[in-house]
Amino acid sequence: MDFKFSDGQEMLRKVAREFAENEVSPIAAEIDKTGRFPRETFDKMTEVMFTGIGTPEEYGGAGGSDTEKVIVVSELAKKCGATAAILSIHTIFAQVIQKYGTGEQKQKYLPRVTSGGCVGAFALTEPNAGSDAGAAKTTATLDGDEYVLNGTKCFISGGGQAQYVAVFALTDPSKGLKGLSCIIVEKGTPGFTIGKIEEKMGIHGSETVELIFDNCRVPKENLVGKEGKGFNIAMVALDGARIGVAAQALGIAEGALEESVKYMNTRVQFGKPLTALQGLTWYISDMATKIESAKWLTYYAAYLKETGQPHTKEAAMAKLNASETARFVTNLALQIHGGYGYMKDYPLERMYRDAKITEIYEGTSEIHKLVISRSVLS
Helix (H, G, I), strand (E, B) or coil at 124: coil
What letter represents residue 46's amino acid?
T
Contact, 179 vs 228, CB < 8 A? Answer: yes
Catalytic pick among 68, 254, 324, 362? 362
Contact, 221 vs 232, CB < 8 A? Answer: no
Compute the distance between CA of residue 367 and CA of residue 365 in angstroms, rounded to an integer.
5
> What's the DSSP call for residue 6?
P
Dihedral angle sign, alpha carbons of residues 17, 22, 28, 29? positive
Of 305, 196, 295, the residue nearest 247 (C-alpha)? 295
362 catalytic residue (yes or no): yes
Sequential DSSP letters for 175-233: GGGGGEEEEEEETT-TTEEEEEEPP-SS-TTS-EEEEEEEEEEEEGGGEES-TT-HHHH
Compute the distance between CA of residue 361 and CA of residue 298 in angstroms, rounded to an integer.
17
Q: Which helix (H) or strand (E) holds 145?
A: none
Residues annotated as part of the active site: 362
